[in-house]
Amino acid sequence: MIITSGFVETNEIEDVKRVVSELKIRGVEVNEIKDEKIVFLIERESASEIEKLLESLKNITGVRNVYLAYFSIEGSDEVANYL
């Protein structure tokens, strides 16, 4: 399981509600909203699924940019099982 977190910056505060709705439709967990920034958490099975989803977030109407704060390394959960 790959876990990614970060935030989406909207163009205007008025865009936040619509963007949050679109994120939830795409299966993105919304953790916090502060002004024009929406903090998210994404869990998927592969890095390619994460990459496709992140690219699609940039195309949501009202999104200025997408920023990553954390990205787990594929297979890191398997390494933890050996410790």
In a domain, 10, yes or no: yes
In a domain, 30, yes or no: yes
In a domain, 80, yes or no: no
In a domain, 83, yes or no: no
Contact 27, 67 (CB under 8 A): no
Instruction: Give the structural domain span for 49.
Output: 2-74
Residue 34 burial by CB count (10 A; 0-12/13-18/19+): exposed, middle or buried?
A: exposed
CATH code of the domain in which 27 resides: 3.30.70.920
Q: Which is nearest to 49 in space by CA: 83, 82, 6, 2?
A: 2
In a domain, 79, yes or no: no
What is the tens place of the pLDDT at every residue in 37-69? 999 999 999 989 999 999 999 999 999 999 999
What is the tens place of the pLDDT at every residue in 6-32? 999 999 999 999 999 999 999 999 999
pLDDT band at 75 (very low <50, low <70, confident <90, very high): low
Residue 79 has pLDDT above 70, yes or no: no
- The count of domains in the chain is 1
pTM here is 0.84
In a domain, 35, yes or no: yes
